[in-house]
Amino acid sequence: METLDTRGRYCPIPLFHTKRKLEDMSSGDVLEVISDDVTARETIPQWCQMHEHEIVSIEELNDHVKITIRKC
């Protein structure tokens, strides 16, 4: 599993980096995205659904969210 920490960056940067990272990964690989941007909590899962990537989990933590994605 790879981790992408986008804390301190705001929309659309977390989604942009998530997209780029997934493009470099193989099907079945898992990416954990960490973000403190409120918008990313919605845009990243929506984008993943549109591109058929699996959202494994969304974990709300104190000051950030951890989104785990399996590339299709």
- Whether 48 is a known active-site residue: answer no
Q: Tell me the pTM.
A: 0.94
Q: What is the CATH number assigned to the segment(s) 2-70?
A: 3.30.110.40
Q: Where along the chain do its domains lie?
A: 2-70
Any alpha helices (H) in the chain, and if so which ranges? 13-23, 40-50
Choosing from 11, 30, 55, 58, the catalytic residue is: 11
pLDDT tens per residue across all 72 residues of the chain: 999 999 999 999 999 999 999 999 999 999 999 999 999 999 999 999 999 999 999 999 999 999 999 999
